[in-house]
Structure 1
Amino acid sequence: MIIGIDPGQSGGIAGIDGDASYAVPMPLIGKDIDGHKIAAQLKSLTPDVVIIEKVHAMPKQGVSSTFKFGMGFGIVIGVCEALGIPYRLVTPQAWKKAVLAGTTKDKDAAIAFVRRAYPSIDLTPGRKRVPHDGMADAVCLAEYGRQIMGNISEVS
């Protein structure tokens, strides 16, 4: 089982295990990432590796939103550390180059990839009408992990 995590509040968690695949929105308590739910999911799935998007502050992003974003990223890493689950950080540029080659490498390309490669994954959970791009990115991260699993040391 390979898990991909887009660690933002509007991110997602996805898993690929042979022919089985799934994706869910990032679990939240109010507006905060729910580390307990992430831990419960990861414990029940027993992944071989978790691929986490290596994120950073964006230009013109406010101080408090940058702090909150970094805190969510830290929660995801902390859960993996606490559970002893191996994880790798990968930049958006690296996974997009591998998974979205030949496309515009944007949110729409990630959604199109998931719809084509993993048609059983519903990117419109609940009552959403618009595809959840954080879930699509998480699937792409898991796919990146699947592609490089033969040589996991290549993940940066």
Structure 2
Amino acid sequence: MNIIGIDPGKSGGIASINAAGQAAGDVMPIIGKEIDGHELARILTAASPGLVIIEKVGAMPKQGVTSTFTFGAGYGRLLGVCEALGIPYRLVTPQAWKKRVLAGTAKDKDAAIAFVKRAFPMVDLTPGKKRVPHDGIADAVCLAEYGRQLMAKGAA
């Protein structure tokens, strides 16, 4: 069974971990300046996940009204795609998944990148022509790992 992790937002990522513990990740599918709901639905349908873990987020301080609205619309699109496809999902706060997956670290973006490089070295954190690791993909892999650990404990 595949577990999917989603770091929401245009610069977020989507990742999966299968039953054998193999992980893969990619950037959030975007069309224009918005999350591509059709492509997201295609990705999720192809992965046939048993569970999707989505980072539970809210408005960020000092973020403009327009960007907050755009982010919220994209977040709603993620939830709507899961609902429409009948895929079970769980919203998880950053504090919860970082406490479990990044225990003993600074629990920041660099810690997530380091964790993925160590635990899942086959995941490409620099897709395309990027030189700097994509923290959205790293966070998505960590979210999927959080879901895998929940499933292993029977807590999902």
Indicate whether the TM-score tops 0.5. yes
Give the 5 Å matches for 1:1-156. Answer: 1-17=2-18, 18-149=20-151, 150-153=153-156
Moved over 2 A (4+): 150-153
Matches of 2:56 and 2:114 in 1, distance apart? Answer: 22
**Partner secondary structure for residue 88 of structure 1:** strand
Give the TM-score normalised by the residue count of structure 2. Answer: 0.96
Return 5+ residue gaps in structure 1 as ranges: none
Identity percentage over the alignment?
A: 71
* Equivalences, count: 153
Letter in 2 for 1:152: A
List runs of 5+ in structure 2 lacking aligned partners.
Answer: none
| Alpha-carbon contact 2:40-2:81 (below 8 Å) kept | yes
| Aligned-partner residue type, residue 39 of structure 2 | K
Question: Distance in 1 between the 2:51 and 2:24 partners?
Answer: 16
Aligned amino acid, residue 140 of structure 1: C
2:49 partner SS: coil
Distance 2:38 2:94 in 1: 26
In the TM superposition, residue 19 of structure 1 has moved relative to its aligned partner by: 3.1
CA positional deviation for 1:20: 2.1
The Cα RMSD (Å) is 0.8
